[in-house]
Amino acid sequence: MHKAKETILELKFDALTHNYNYIKSKLNPKTKFLAVVKAFAYGSDSIEVAKHLEILNVDYFAVAYTKEGAALRDAGITTPILVLHPQAVNFKEIIEHCLEPSIYSSNILKEFIRVAEQQQQSNYPVHIKFNTGLNRLGFGRTDIDYIISHLKKTKAIVAKSLFSHLASSEDDNEKDFSIRQIEDFKTIALDFKSKMNYKPWLHLCNTSGMLNYTEGHLDMVRCGIGLYGFGNSAKEDANLKPIATLKSIISQIHQIEKGETVGYNRSHIASSFEKIATIPIGHADGISRQFGNGKGYVFVNNQKAAIIGNVCMDMIMVNITDVDCEEGDEVIIFDGIHKASTFAEFGSTISYEVLTAISQRVKRLYAK
Active site residues: 38, 264
- Dihedral sign of CA atoms 342, 51, 363, 222 in order: negative
C-alpha–C-alpha distance, residues 118 and 248, integer Å: 52
CA distance 93 to 90: 5
Q: Which residues pair with 34 in a beta bridge?
A: 60, 222
Task: Determine what percent of the chain falls in helix, strand and coil, rounding each to the nearest 5.
Answer: 35, 25, 40
Helices vs. strands in the chain: H and E counts, helices first: 12, 19
The values of phi and psi at residue 313, to 5°, are -60, -40
Q: How far apart are CA 310 and CA 265, in angstroms?
A: 8
CA dist 363 and 68 (Å) reads 20
β strands within the chain, DSSP E: 8-12, 32-36, 60-63, 81-83, 100-103, 124-129, 157-163, 201-203, 220-223, 244-249, 252-256, 261-262, 268-269, 274-279, 297-300, 303-308, 316-319, 330-334, 363-367
Q: Give, rounded to a whole angstrom, the gap between the first and last alpha carbons of the chain.
A: 10
Strands (E) located in 204-292: 220-223, 244-249, 252-256, 261-262, 268-269, 274-279
Quickly list DSSP for 212-223: H-GGG-TTEEEE
For the chain, state the CA radius of gyration: 24
- What is the separation of C-alpha 233 from the centre of its chain, rounded to a whole number of angstroms? 16
Query: Do 280 and 6 touch, CB atoms closer than 8 A?
Result: yes
